[in-house]
Chain A
């Protein structure tokens, strides 16, 4: 009791001292800051500290009572309380009540992270009658109790420090008022696989003008390479083609194939995007008409392809079928416009003659074009690549002729594929009677040569492959080598049972080695059967590797263009793995499909619809609120040196002439409040809202001097 009293006395004293010391600084700051910045009347700071237990997440690792007692002694603290779940309604009510009853000027919540609950507590602060920017968070969970779980004394001390620092800032916080900016009524979707197509179709259906950008010659993506889909066994092309046609036909969708995003500027609501339309060498009827060739342009007749003398492997068929230098890579391309691969073209001009004087569709001198569009929101749907499975040397892909990848299997079993749907051994063209399917080929692999994650759809398509060979080749036996069969989706487990009943052989064991019989080109698949606990050697005619998938090759470039992060394994990073899976940390940029992580078709389409919905919200709202964290120029201090202009990563700053002298000017909507300019300005002429120099100095002092400023 005696001790407590002492503490209270000390608090009162220090508060007095503090007010004295801080006040002049604050006044000085006021003079420097432009009138627009913070107009709160000077008043004594009265801060409320609210400590959250987060169940046992926080309370289990530190002494909450000790943190509470110490917080009471921190200068400017007028009220301290703790609660089991501060983010709950009763918890928020505690905050609102305290603001009113104790006439608080600022709120500090010591809990999780601003990333998780800053919006929650800002709302609570606002509902209590304060400006929401009078709230400051002390992270005592993610950066404290979780990492120092077994150091009760240390984590208690660290929590007290975090609260002192937060209180120091809260005492100097000012009212801020977010600005709204109008949102361009258009969206862009990057990548036109099934995810990008679905997202674009949804946006178009919601009445939003959508630019759909595809780097390849046709839309459709990976799904158009597949034969059948699991577990329904409907033909992939049959269900995809109507969507492709819808995309091609939609008036709201501006489809740009053979195009790439070149440059992105701006911010949510106002992205200025430059698109590079790669020279395709062939004009659409529209483009031809624009050049005065009425009734001309490519009609997809294919006369040019027949005439072209250059032969190359067709990438769409994974090199198993030839194509020409002028080509469409499969019969169902949308749009049906031929494309010249200028890396292979010898410019002999035979195609130009074949195309004829009426259409005049081919222009061998065509150059890349750059098109600028303005959009309010962006959806990234850039998909995936197949892991280079030849890196797993023990399975001999590219070394043994009869070891193929699952995507090659899809093309071989597909009626429109290189063999007309007949599965044959590459070595001799014979129909295989025993086919091994190696699952987790490069997935769930911690050896350092593969990928640690599960690729999520290989189990299911391998079951489908097993079904297909049983159905197409009488007497053919599929051997499925697996670690676990992950048949988690709707009707998936039932499909697994069905394939078991159809006669597929399941061997639980990771394949250690595949050995080729030099004479017969048959393959010996070696593994440890972990159910029978013995090594097995299965001779087969053909091996199909269910190769892992990995982020598309240019993901890193995409990431940098749009300022999006990626996770450790390279997939684009969502804003929250559970509660915001389509959003990113960059406002206005959303993710759809596999670019965010492995997904099968149903999950991809669902994610695309989610992203389309999220991306349409700001557009339908018409305007978005921007965080008021922008930089402000204190013009009387600015020397107009322009150093900040070059430093700004967001091109938000410019030099302007004002009252006869050059000063810096901020485009507030472009400024992200990163503070680069503010930290650098040699004259101290840049004021960073919500991260002012006095606020930051006070935080440092609070830590170094223990709150006794």
Chain B
């Protein structure tokens, strides 16, 4: 146990979209996780992860060096990294994994880091907060269930896993084996159940949100077309909300609905919440504390159902 009374301490890597667009994800993560015995300490001086599609597909050397710099900051804090975004997970987890196992790459990256007096040593691990919540080594579904004071009873909630956390299968090494069920995972549904809500499966659950891999930046109409298909499938199941574990997916589903309305003339009004926000609600945090009023699509109908 540390001084703060937490069982585990992590360097909290925020990424870009969470603090800029959905600050509630940040506050919900810190507060909700604290109740579960996990302290998230801000990773000061962190840069962009950098985004795997945008940077990784253009210059790998820059991609590795930037991700390595974020890793070194956490190494200096002597803490493992916890993060809230699938894109960040792909960059930071994968770069950490590659640097740990490839000496040539590590040497090349350290050559670059020398310019800022840094050295990557490979002393820490990287976790997604969803993984911390599900893995009972850190928290586990039971503890999550016990922390609920305001169960989301009656709410039909669909899960969007996103791509980068679970795929590609051969490059992932989760401790909990069911998390390796890349093609039809169900562990997030367990977490949704733990909050008292009803998890709902829908057609083509594992389809991409449409934004990732630089698609949104390159061809917005194509990206929205994919999002639209997912929204059609979700509407079919009459869900009250969609939950995700990636602010970029959240941006695409939430603000994307406004763009879809403009471009395709279809209205869904489906509330989209990061799982941290859902967890905060279930633990009794107010919608204002969670910054739900900053969402593009109003969460009101959903909130009326669960509060």
Known contacts A513-B204, A515-B203; is-contact A446 B184 (Cβ 8 Å)? no
Give the contacts of A565-619 with B (CB-CB under 8 A).
none
Known contacts A393-B183, A394-B183, A399-B184; is-contact A513 B170 (Cβ 8 Å)? no
- A485-523 to B contact mask, C-beta < 8 Å, 1/0: 000000000000000000000000000010100100000
User: Number of contacting residues on A, CB 8 A?
Assistant: 12
A447 at the interface (CB under 8 A from B): yes
How many residue pairs, one in A and one in B, have C-beta atoms under 8 Å apart? 24
Is B170 in contact with A447, judged by CB distance below 8 angstroms?
A: yes
Is B183 in contact with A446, judged by CB distance below 8 angstroms?
A: no
Is A392 in contact with B183, judged by CB distance below 8 angstroms?
A: yes
Q: Which residues of B contact A394 (CB under 8 A)?
A: 183-184, 206
- A275-294 to B contact mask, C-beta < 8 Å, 1/0: 00000000000000000000
How many angstroms between the C-alpha atoms of A396 and B184 in the bound complex? 9
Q: Which residues of B contact A515 (CB under 8 A)?
A: 203-204
- A441-461 to B contact mask, C-beta < 8 Å, 1/0: 000001111000000000000
Closest Cβ neighbor of B237 among chain A residues: A518
B78 at the interface (CB under 8 A from A): no
Q: Which residues of A contact B204 (CB under 8 A)?
A: 513, 515
Give the contacts of A387-437 with B (CB-CB under 8 A).
392-394, 396, 399
Closest Cβ neighbor of A396 among chain B residues: B184
B168 at the interface (CB under 8 A from A): yes
Is B184 in contact with A449, judged by CB distance below 8 angstroms?
A: no
- B107-125 to A contact mask, C-beta < 8 Å, 1/0: 0000000000000000000
Closest Cβ neighbor of B170 among chain A residues: A448
Give the contacts of B201-215 with A (CB-CB under 8 A).
203-204, 206
How many angstroms between the C-alpha atoms of A448 and B170 in the bound complex? 6
Give the contacts of B57-97 with A (CB-CB under 8 A).
none
Interface size bucket, B side? Answer: 10 to 19
Q: Which residues of B contact A449 (CB under 8 A)?
A: 169, 182
B7 at the interface (CB under 8 A from A): no
Minimum distance in angstroms from A521 CB to a CB of chain B: 13
How many angstroms between the C-alpha atoms of A518 and B182 in the bound complex? 22
B181 at the interface (CB under 8 A from A): yes
Is B169 in contact with A448, judged by CB distance below 8 angstroms?
A: yes
Minimum distance in angstroms from B239 CB to a CB of chain A: 14
Minimum distance in angstroms from A438 CB to a CB of chain B: 14
Closest Cβ neighbor of A395 among chain B residues: B183
Q: Which residues of B contact A396 (CB under 8 A)?
A: 184
Give the contacts of B158-186 with A (CB-CB under 8 A).
168-170, 181-184
How many angstroms between the C-alpha atoms of A392 and B180 in the bound complex? 12
Minimum distance in angstroms from B305 CB to a CB of chain A: 24
Give the contacts of B117-172 with A (CB-CB under 8 A).
168-170
Closest Cβ neighbor of A448 among chain B residues: B170
Is B182 in contact with A393, judged by CB distance below 8 angstroms?
A: yes
Give the contacts of A446-484 with B (CB-CB under 8 A).
446-449
Is B203 in contact with A446, judged by CB distance below 8 angstroms?
A: no
Is A393 in contact with B169, judged by CB distance below 8 angstroms?
A: no
Minimum distance in angstroms from B133 CB to a CB of chain A: 22
Which of B168, B170, B181, B183 lies at the interface centre, i.e. has the most chain A CB atoms within 10 A of its CB?
Answer: B183
Is A447 in contact with B184, judged by CB distance below 8 angstroms?
A: no
How many angstroms between the C-alpha atoms of A446 and B184 in the bound complex? 18
Is A513 in contact with B168, judged by CB distance below 8 angstroms?
A: no
How many angstroms between the C-alpha atoms of A518 and B203 in the bound complex? 9
Is B169 in contact with A513, judged by CB distance below 8 angstroms?
A: no
How many angstroms between the C-alpha atoms of A671 and B158 in the bound complex? 67
Q: Which residues of B contact A392 (CB under 8 A)?
A: 183
Minimum distance in angstroms from A396 CB to a CB of chain B: 7
Is A447 in contact with B206, judged by CB distance below 8 angstroms?
A: no
Q: Which residues of A contact B168 (CB under 8 A)?
A: 447
Q: Which residues of B contact A447 (CB under 8 A)?
A: 168-170
Q: Which residues of B contact A399 (CB under 8 A)?
A: 184
Minimum distance in angstroms from B207 CB to a CB of chain A: 8
Q: Which residues of A contact B206 (CB under 8 A)?
A: 394, 513
Q: Which residues of A contact B183 (CB under 8 A)?
A: 392-394, 513
How many angstroms between the C-alpha atoms of A513 and B170 in the bound complex? 18
Minimum distance in angstroms from A17 CB to a CB of chain B: 46
Query: Which B residues contact A (CB, under 8 angstroms)?
Result: 168-170, 181-184, 203-204, 206
Since A394-B183, A447-B168, A515-B203 are in contact, a sample of 7 more A-B pairs with Cβ atoms closer than 8 Å, ordered by chain A residue number, is A392-B183, A393-B183, A393-B184, A446-B170, A513-B183, A513-B204, A518-B203
Contacts A/B (CB < 8 Å), 15 sampled = A393-B181, A393-B182, A393-B183, A394-B183, A396-B184, A446-B170, A447-B168, A448-B169, A448-B170, A449-B169, A449-B182, A513-B204, A513-B206, A515-B203, A515-B204
